[in-house]
Chains A and B, each alone.
Chain A
Amino acid sequence: MRNYENVIYAYIIMLLLIFCVGLFQSWSIALTILNYCLISAVMTIGANIQWGYAGLINFGIMGYTALGGLAVVLVSVDPVKKAWQVGGLNILACIWIIVSVIFITKFILKRFDKSSIRNYSVAFVIIAGVILIRITAIPGIEAIESVDPAVKGFLGGMGLPVLVSWIFGAILAGVLAFVVGKIALGLRADYLAIATLLIAEIIVSIIKHEEWLARGVKNVIGLKRPAPYEVNLQKTQWFRDFIEKIYSNKIDLINTVSQKKVVLNQLIIDASSVFVKLCFTGLFLSVVIILLIVTQKALYSPWGRKMRAIRDNEEAASAMGKNIVKDHLLIFVLGSAIVGLAGAMMVTNDGLFTPGSYRPMRYTFVIWVMVIVGGTGNNFGAILGGFVVWFLWVQAAPISLFLIELFTANLPETNSVRLHLIESAPYFRFLLIGIGLLLIMRYKPQGIIPEKIIKQ
């Protein structure tokens, strides 16, 4: 039990901090932070599988997160029938062309020997395919985008429940990771990092600019929810009774009936938002726990030991007859699928899909900082990292504002340095995260909760 003591302490401190936010700021904010911490935890589990288990650098987390978000739109939004009628056939034809180009290219590469004629024919097939796609797609896309452009203008989704999209998001991200892994996994570590960074940019720019797919930068709002809506909840009888019962002491103190009603209504409105967030917290928490159990089991199974062996010494593992290429690909796909799941969870939590908000700093590098700060190769550490870093990321602005006020208290109100610093308070979070990362890398490179190798 002694081994787990510091883990438990670390988590208790973290939860106490969030509790303090609830006490001093508001419970709604505390739950929002907690939900995002849980989503970050799922992302860090995904990144930790790739980096901690297998030593693969994936700087493309942003791309898989965005794909997970896209999956929510593609699965849960109701289909736009008119758009399918005017342009659906063109899009289907395009998909068919892409698939056939891929198959023809593969066939040529397999069937014929290496020669310049083969290279030219592959190039010809690809260029011809691109031209064909443009010819078929453009009228279709124009037709789709002109269908009710203010609210629709895209093909819509399948109209399935939103929870299905979480699985679909994971599958989508996994499939993409398979393709990327096939191309890029042979590269050296730093090349892999740059290649994945570029791929993530490409994915996000495709989602941003292909408006027929998910409205691009025009955003999709009002997505389905796996939890009740606040407005409906406020009208539900059992919920009203429940709140009345909880706050009965407080309400009994008020004398007039009309006053009572006003106070009760306000309480119900506040409580409904907390209740909805609690529903999300429950869902996310169960995802995190399931993932934690599965990954923990995997880490201490023969498969996990094999992965660590490959990470620590590729040549030796290869000499023992382990198929490194295959295992790297598998772990790349698994990790990316978990990140895709997290992306879907995040969009579900927000209720809107905003491709313009996907930036590499926030969705790739901060997640990496989480993994490294928390402890690479240790799932408890990675999750804790997600909690700590997200908490700092959110609370950095108020903390730095407080510090600036403190240090510039002697300066007059209109001092330009003071005003400038107060204005740039939000950017101190980058400084905090950066210095935190550098300090951890220097003095505790194993992270807050280091990797534990259990001798078996």
Chain B
Amino acid sequence: MDFLNAIIVLFNFTVIPALAYGSQLALGAIFVTLIYAVLRFANFATGDMMSFGTMFAVILTYYFQSLGIGLGILPTALLTIPFAILMMILYMLIIDKFVFSYYRIKKSPPVQFAMVSVGVMFVTQALIRIIIGPSDRRFLDGEKFIIKATEFKEITGLAEGITLKSTQAITIIVTLIVVSIMFWFLNRTKTGTSMRAYSDNEDLALLSGVDPKRVVLITWVIAGILATIGGVLYGLDKSYRPFVYFNNMLPIFAAAIVGGIGNPYGAFFGGYVIAFAEIFLTYSYKKFISYLLPAGLEPNSLMQLLSTDYKFVVSFSILVVVLLIRPSGIFKGKTI
């Protein structure tokens, strides 16, 4: 029985949160990797673009709530995602038209692109703060829990319970749906194939009649979808705060590089690697171990490998180890 309790503690406090957090990171990482593979630069505005899309979802959620439109037990934010995505894609296309396309035609080095994306980061951050302000906002409504710890305890008779927040379930399900559609699109449709060809070898793809403008457009559309959904899911699960989104850029980049930058499968996988590592290394194992050890041997300390303040250390260490051992990432990078 104690063994079962130990497993449930571990499951409740590490596996479920890590799956949800990993899904959010994975969406962001695929966004980074797509931009890197097709448009060939590291986008430093990643976090802020995700925040920008989420901002529309937050504003629309408040608007819909004031109109009385809702989804019942599901959060209203899900209803606003399509509109937020449209706004996000529009913004991305405007940015691309006025900023990135010039450098793409000039074939500037990636470093210059990166600096330009820093400029975009500044502008995006300013717009977000001017429109919605820097404060912390919660926009989750509807049912909060699917399984509550107390209910679980009653049903199973165990001492420990499992809590499944609805946001966690929604995150995992939505991510799986979006990612599978995206992989199907990239691998099975003609447009997806042309994108892969363009990413693989630009000249050859142009020679075979791939329209570069269309490829770029489709890439931004997919990027907008991923960024908005990833951002909204993160905001639902935690809360919407622009500064946090900016900082999320670091684990997202780490996930994309660890998985092999340019490779969407790798990015998807990398998101979970980073999330699980972060949560497993900063979780306090005191309760888990006290169930496993015989009575009287309970540990006194928190049994925590790293304090939660150091979660960046985890991302960075994984990044360094992977880059030293396998510079192209876990999956081989630079192919869609």
A-side residues, CB < 8 A to B, are 55, 57, 130, 138, 183-184, 187, 189-191, 193-195, 197-199, 201-202, 205-206, 208-209, 360-361, 365, 368-369, 372, 421, 423-424, 427-435, 437-438, 441-442, 445
A-contact bits for B307-330, CB 8 A (1 contact / 0 none): 101101101100110011000000
| B173 interface hit (Cβ, 8 Å) | no
- Decide: B111 and A205 in contact? CB cutoff 8 A: no
Query: Is chain A's binding surface mostly helix, strand, loop or mixed?
Result: helix
State the Cβ distance, B250 to closest chain A Cβ, in Å: 5
Is the Cβ of B310 less than 8 Å from the Cβ of A209? yes
Which B68-106 residues sit within 8 Å CB-CB of chain A?
99, 102
Count class of interface residues, chain B: 35 or more
B299 interfacial contact with A, CB 8 Å: no
| Residue B254 is within 8 A (CB to CB) of chain A in the complex | yes
Query: Does B142 lie at the interface of the complex (its beta carbon under 8 Å from any beta carbon of A)?
Result: no
Residues of chain B with a CB closer than 8 A to A429's CB: 126
User: Nearest Cβ distance between residue A327 and chain B, in whole angstroms?
Assistant: 18
B120 engages A434 (CB within 8 Å): yes
Cβ B257 vs Cβ A361 within 8 A: no
Tell me which residues across on chain A come within 8 A of B102, comparing CB atoms.
Answer: 442
Given A183-B320, A372-B115, A445-B112, 16 extra CB contacts under 8 A: A189-B111, A190-B41, A191-B323, A198-B316, A199-B316, A202-B313, A209-B309, A361-B125, A365-B118, A427-B126, A427-B134, A431-B130, A432-B126, A434-B124, A438-B99, A438-B116
Does B253 reach chain A (CB closer than 8 Å)? yes
User: Which residues of B are found within 8 Å of A437, using beta-carbon distances?
Assistant: 115, 118-119, 122
For A435, list chain B residues within 8 Å (CB): 119, 123
CB distance from A99 to the nearest CB of B (A): 19
Most buried by A among B130, B315, B320: B130
Given contact pairs A187-B323, A190-B42, A438-B99, A431 touches B122 in the complex (Cβ within 8 A): yes
The answer to whether A202 and B130 touch across the interface, beta carbons within 8 angstroms, is: no
Q: How far is the CA of A202 from the CA of B320 in the complex (A)?
A: 13
User: Which residues of the other chain, B, contact A431 by a CB distance below 8 angstroms?
Assistant: 122-123, 126-127, 130
Residue in A361, A431, A434 with the greatest tally of chain B CB atoms within 10 Å = A434
Contact in complex: A205, B309 (CB < 8 Å) = yes
> Which residues of A have CB within 8 Å of B111?
55, 57, 189-190
Contact: A441 with B116, CB < 8 Å?
yes
Chain A nearest CB, measured from B256 CB (Å): 9
A208 / chain B contacts, CB cutoff of 8 Å = 309
Q: Which 10 A-B pairs have the closest CB atoms?
A: A434-B122, A430-B126, A431-B126, A434-B123, A427-B129, A190-B42, A437-B119, A438-B119, A209-B309, A198-B316
| Residue B114 is within 8 A (CB to CB) of chain A in the complex | yes
Q: A428 contacts which chain B residues (CB < 8 A)?
A: 126, 130
User: Within 8 Å CB of B312, what residues of A?
Assistant: 198, 201-202, 205
Contact of B316 among A191, A202, A430, A441 (CB under 8 A): A202
Whether a CB of chain A sits under 8 angstroms from the CB of B275 is: no
* Chain B residues proximal to chain A, CB less than 8 Å: 41-42, 44, 99, 102, 110-112, 114-116, 118-127, 129-130, 133-134, 246-247, 250, 253-254, 257, 301, 305, 307, 309-310, 312-313, 315-316, 319-320, 323-324
A-B contact pairs, 10 of them (CB 8 A): A55-B111, A189-B111, A191-B323, A194-B42, A194-B254, A195-B319, A365-B121, A369-B119, A434-B122, A438-B119
Question: Known contacts A430-B123, A438-B99; is A195 also within 8 Å of B316 by CB?
Answer: yes
| A172 to B: closest C-beta gap in Å | 19
Q: Complex Cα distance A431/B125, Å?
A: 8
Q: Are B130 and A441 in contact (CB under 8 A)?
A: no
State A372–B116 Cα separation when bound (angstroms). Answer: 11
| 8 Å CB contact of B122 from A191, A199, A433 | A433
State the Cβ distance, B55 to closest chain A Cβ, in Å: 13
Chain B residues near A199 (CB, 8 Å)?
316
Task: State the Cβ distance, A274 to closest chain B Cβ, in Å.
Answer: 34
Please determine whether A427 and B130 come into contact, CB atoms closer than 8 angstroms.
Answer: yes
A312 to chain B, nearest CB (A): 12
B122 touching A424, Cβ below 8 Å: no
When distances are taken between beta carbons in the complex, the residues of chain A under 8 Å from B125 are 361, 430, 434
Which residues of chain B are within 8 angstroms of A206 by Cβ–Cβ distance?
310
| Residues in A neighbouring B124, C-beta threshold 8 A | 434
How far is A192 from B139 in the complex, measured between Cα atoms in Å?
37
CB distance from A102 to the nearest CB of B (A): 15
On whether the beta carbons of B257 and A205 are closer than 8 Å, the reply is no
- Highest count of chain B CB atoms <10 Å: which of A57, A194, A197: A194
In the bound complex, do residue B253 and residue A194 qualify as a contact, i.e. CB atoms below 8 Å apart? yes
Q: Tell whether, in the assembled complex, residue B254 and residue A198 are in contact, meaning their CB atoms are under 8 Å apart.
A: yes
Cα separation A365 to B45 with both chains bound (whole Å):
12
- Bound Cα distance A442, B315 (Å): 34
The answer to whether A189 and B110 touch (CB under 8 A), given A138-B301, A434-B123, A437-B118, is: yes
* Contact residues in A for B126 (Cβ distance below 8 Å): 427-432, 434
Closest to B304 in A: A134
Given contacts A190-B111, A208-B309, contact A424 B133 (CB under 8 A): yes
